[in-house]
């Protein structure tokens, strides 16, 4: 027979899986007893049981199934995610913007009014007039043989933000079949002289990418026409606005 508890304390014993677990509750204890005192039942102290004990194991075996299955479900979900992404590099940079095409009209540095645009900002595909701050990437001129001269910014002015690498190089093949620019062969601050109908690539180390892991923007250009008389130059371009990506395919690039 179970003995009654002493004082104004109340106690409950619960039987789980053949083991008895003591649970003591208090209701209106007096006599100056503090909350830090141990609970007692007629002089017998009720101690918490360790989970590794037979009583604890019996308690765990009677836990609700949803509680026990949560870790299993979490592991299953994690395994599914890893299986789906297992073939991809989780650290590979992903492009956010599609490649885009532009046509430009610019005028030669020499022999044309200073009010006309003679330079280009590659990442934003913006033509601009020359300025002493060097806020452009490349500028254009026409030589005595009617060929286009492409000049990186440092060959025209010294940028106020300091030296930054802009490189150009001739591209082989038909413009529409060039699906990426090379990874090698770039020489910063080199001048390129190229004939109408030919293509060239640009690599601009730009403030546009100053907070990115890779700080270059790539593009390809086609010299559509050069007019030595009017000093007008027409260019077609495909620009990859994703920092560090060289692919020039339609849509979103992969590298």
Please give the full DSSP string across 190-238, using - where no structure is assigned: --EEE-TT-EEEEEEE-GGGTTSSS-EEEEEEEEEEEETTTTEEEEEEE
Residue 151 near residue 139, CB atoms below 8 Å: yes
- Residue spans of the domains in the chain: they are 1-63, 100-240
| pLDDT for residue 39 | 42
Say which range, 1-5, 145-149, 180-184, 207-211, has the weakest mean pLDDT: 1-5
DSSP codes, 178-198: --B--SS---BT--EEE-TT-
pLDDT at 72 over 80: no
pLDDT at 131 over 50: yes
Most confident of the following: 22-26, 27-31, 93-97, 189-193: 189-193
Confidence of residue 50 (pLDDT cuts 50, 70, 90): low
Q: Tell me if the pTM is above 0.85.
A: no
| pLDDT for residue 43 | 47
pLDDT at 220 over 70: yes
Based on DSSP, count helices (H) and strands (E) in the chain, helices before strands.
2, 14
pLDDT at 129 over 50: yes
Which position has the higher pLDDT, 176 or 46?
176
Mean pLDDT of 110-136: 94
Confidence of residue 88 (pLDDT cuts 50, 70, 90): low
Helical segments of the chain, H only: 54-61, 65-85
Confidence of residue 16 (pLDDT cuts 50, 70, 90): very low
């Amino acid at each position: 027979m179970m003995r009654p508890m002493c004082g104004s304390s109340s106690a409950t014993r619960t039987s789980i899986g053949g083991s008895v677990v003591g649970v003591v509750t208090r209701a209106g204890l007096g006599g100056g007893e503090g909350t830090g005192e141990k609970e007692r039942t007629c002089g017998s102290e009720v101690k918490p049981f360790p989970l590794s004990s037979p009583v604890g194991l019996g308690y765990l075996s009677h836990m609700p199934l949803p509680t026990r299955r949560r870790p299993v479900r979490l592991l299953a979900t994690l395994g599914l995610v890893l299986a789906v992404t297992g073939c991809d590099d989780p650290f590979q940079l992903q492009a956010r913007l599609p490649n885009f095409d532009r046509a430009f009209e610019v005028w030669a540095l020499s022999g044309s009014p200073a009010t006309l645009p003679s330079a280009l900002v590659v990442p934003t595909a913006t033509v601009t007039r020359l300025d002493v701050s060097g806020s452009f990437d490349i500028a254009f001129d026409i030589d005595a043989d009617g060929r286009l001269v492409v000049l990186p910014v440092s060959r025209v002015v010294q940028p106020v933000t300091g030296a930054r690498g802009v490189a150009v190089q001739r591209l082989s093949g038909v413009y529409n079949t060039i699906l990426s620019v090379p990874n090698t062969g770039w020489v910063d601050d080199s001048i390129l002289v190229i004939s109408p109908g030919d293509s060239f690539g640009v690599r601009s180390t730009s403030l546009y990418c100053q907070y990115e892991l890779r700080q270059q923007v790539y593009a390809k250009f086609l010299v559509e026409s050069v007019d030595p008389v009017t000093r007008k130059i027409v260019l077609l371009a495909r620009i990859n606005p994703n920092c560090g990506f060289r692919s020039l395919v339609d849509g979103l690039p992969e590298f």
